[in-house]
Chain A
Amino acid sequence: MSVNAVLQQFASSGVETCFHGRHINPQIYADLNGSNWSLSAYEQRGGYQALRKILGMDGGQGLTQDEVIATVKESGLRGRGGAGFPTGLKWSFMPRQFPGQKYLVCNSDEGEPGTCKDRDILMFNPHIVIEGMAIAAYAMGISTGYNYIHGEIFQVYERFEAALEEARAAGYLGQAIMGSSFSFQLHAHHGFGAYICGEETSLLESLEGKKGQPRFKPPFPASFGLYGKPTTINNTETFAAVPWIIRHGGLAYLECGKPNNGGTKIFSVSGDVERPGNYEIPLGTPFSALLDLAGGVSGGRKLKAVIPGGSSSPVLPAHVIMDCTMDYDSISKAGSMLGSGAVIVMDETRCMVESLKRLSYFYMHESCGQCTPCREGTGWLWRLVDRIHRGEGRETDMQLLDNVAESIMGRTICALGDAAAMPVRAMVKHFRPEFEAMIQSAQQAVAV
């Protein structure tokens, strides 16, 4: 047996995370089984009909660029990568009449701890992303695009490259697509291990072949992006939502979710649940229903806390999250962020100091080193939490933790600094007695 054959035995099949039949009204993950990722299977599911529709290929008039953007605005689609910015509005920022080269970039650098939804989209339904990008490119008058894929999921990158070859051969990508005047070239680019490259300007630097260090904004990518040209960047899942919207209409999409929170959203549920996995459900679904889909808390234990939108989003205690619905507005009102939709569940046995210690180590490790408050501050945060966890905490450490977090927030070029500080502040806010108890027992040990 070859090494590759050995390793293949341990690869994910997608059954546990994606083909479990426990989605609610899925659009992106609908009807997938792991072996129907190819172009012909995608077409049988209605694939590329949205692209054909806007180009007027099936007898219709086609849609103008303005009509496509208006449809996406009407749908209420918001960015699925973390920020939740309205997609149609972002597309309208692109200077369409700008005469030179413009770029479209897909952010598949999925490295926010807790998140693994884009991996399953790209692996099991890659053409939906290609079609969504082609529609976006048409709407914004863009002729070249790149999909930046997380380096750790190399097999997904290879799958996407294979799908690109199919789409080119079938005439869905390339010059004069299906005989129209629209041309669009799309390529895949892989990262190689840097969390920071999920930040859009860092991703652009990386795509240019440099260290992934974020850029000052403004100028924003819409005016100065890849190679200094106007660029629109969206998350994988955002692009994947677009074909459904074009086929069924913006209003139908909006009605799948709730006002201001259109459509379905994929939640990656990880941690202390019976069935970790990706669950595509309408925005506005109660958290308790999502928890049920994931089989409830492991071992029938009680829920302690949930990090609702990836490790950078503030933790919420059980009683708060159980009253939330899973949408941007509800989670925001509860004091956190829907983020990338990565739901990290923690049961009653979990030590929050230990959990925060691991997260703080991560942010220290992944700080790009460009801004002093983040480069130095993330190290301070980790050393403080580590000290408390080791039973060497000092009485002043709680104040110091807060001071260091405060000194990072809002003082860095990109959001990684805030992302490192927010979990600290939220953990301390909601679970302060756990930290204080560890510090007090350390003090008593010293006194003895």
Chain B
Amino acid sequence: MISEATRARFDRETAKYPVEQRQSAVMACLSIVQQEFGYVSPESEADIAAYLGIAKMAVHEVTTFYNMYNQAPVGRFKLNVCTNLPCQLRDGQKALHHLEAKLGVSMGETTADGLFTLQQSECLGACADAPVMLVNDRHMCSFMTHEKLNQLVDALRNEGVQP
């Protein structure tokens, strides 16, 4: 079920579009549920479909087409490291490998404590900031040297283990 607070956020998005084009808000609604629940579950898709008055499959098509929607639960912190060519030339690949070693997981995996999911990503549109990464879809971290990667992971781990 969608909470009143979530519904208010949905309402704010649908208000941008013509009344008969509420479907336009589907991407925003999906990103909102992902922010609140960590991923997009079939139940959330059904809720959004009912809210927008469209078919569940129309929502599912969107979830599965766009790279950033999590179709299954992920760690508390999802780390997406860009390794596309401009980043690769400035050690993007090495940043990913460094995180693999630091976290003890391979790309695509989640740490055993459930804190971190590490993923490779395509161009984030911040090529001059390389190495660059995205945390939980909404926070870009720039110029991520090995030292800064260590600081970031340690600080997030510290936050993550607190109740």
Contacts and interface: CB of A to CB of B under 8 A. Distances in A.
B137 interface: yes
Given A10-B148, A192-B31, A344-B86, A111 B125 contact: yes
A194 B86 contact: no
B81 interface: no
A261 interface: no
Q: Which of A4, A8, A114, A345 has the most CB of B within 10 A?
A: A114
Nearest to A368: B65
B18 to A, nearest CB: 7
Contacts of B121: 152, 193
B112 interface: no
A152 B134 contact: yes
B90 A194 contact: no
B66 A191 contact: yes
Contacts of B2: none
Contact of A113 (B77, B84, B140): B84
Interface string A1-27: 111101111111000110000000000
Given A207-B24, A270-B127, A153 B86 contact: no
B117 interface: no
Nearest to A185: B16
Nearest to B26: A209
A381 B50 CA distance: 42
Interface residues of A, number: 69
B62 A211 contact: yes
Given A12-B129, A152-B68, A195 B140 contact: no
B139 A270 contact: no
Interface in B47-65: 52, 54, 58, 61-62, 65
Contacts, number: 196
B14 to A, nearest CB: 10
Interface stretch (A74-82, A86-94, A272-280, A434-442): A272-280
A115 B127 contact: yes
Contact of A270 (B61, B67, B90): B90
Interface in B134-151: 134-135, 137-144, 148
A150 interface: yes
Contact of A366 (B61, B122, B127, B142): B122
B156 to A, nearest CB: 6
A215 B136 CA distance: 32
B53 to A, nearest CB: 11
Contacts of B144: 10
Given A190-B28, A193-B67, A276-B130, A115 B125 contact: yes
A270 B129 CA distance: 9
A155 B62 CA distance: 22
Nearest to B17: A187
Interface in B15-40: 16-18, 21, 23-28, 30-31
Interface stretch (A40-48, A65-73, A243-251, A354-362): A354-362
A193 B65 CA distance: 9
A189 B127 contact: no
Nearest to B154: A6
A342 B127 contact: yes
Interface residues of B, number: 55
Interface string A209-229: 111100000000000000100
B64 to A, nearest CB: 8
Nearest to B13: A189
Nearest to B20: A227
A112 interface: yes
B68 A6 contact: no
B17 to A, nearest CB: 8
B132 to A, nearest CB: 8
A16 B128 contact: yes
Given A1-B155, A10-B142, A119 B125 contact: yes
A365 interface: yes
Nearest to A144: B18
A411 interface: no
Given A153-B125, A342-B127, A212 B88 contact: no
A362 B123 contact: yes
A307 B27 CA distance: 33
5 contacts: A11-B142, A154-B138, A211-B65, A355-B85, A355-B88
In the A-B complex, list the 8 residue pairs whose CB atoms are closest, starting with the nearest.
A193-B67, A193-B68, A209-B23, A10-B141, A270-B86, A12-B142, A187-B16, A270-B127
Interface of B: 16-18, 21, 23-28, 30-31, 52, 54, 58, 61-62, 65-69, 77, 83-86, 88-90, 121-130, 134-135, 137-144, 148, 152, 155-156, 159
Given A146-B16, A151-B66, A355-B85, 15 more contacts: A4-B139, A7-B141, A10-B142, A113-B86, A152-B125, A154-B137, A154-B139, A193-B66, A195-B123, A209-B58, A210-B23, A210-B61, A269-B128, A270-B89, A342-B127
Interface of A: 1-4, 6-12, 16-17, 101, 110-116, 118-119, 146, 150-155, 187-195, 206-212, 227, 268-272, 276-278, 307, 311, 342, 344-346, 350, 355, 358-359, 362, 365-366, 368
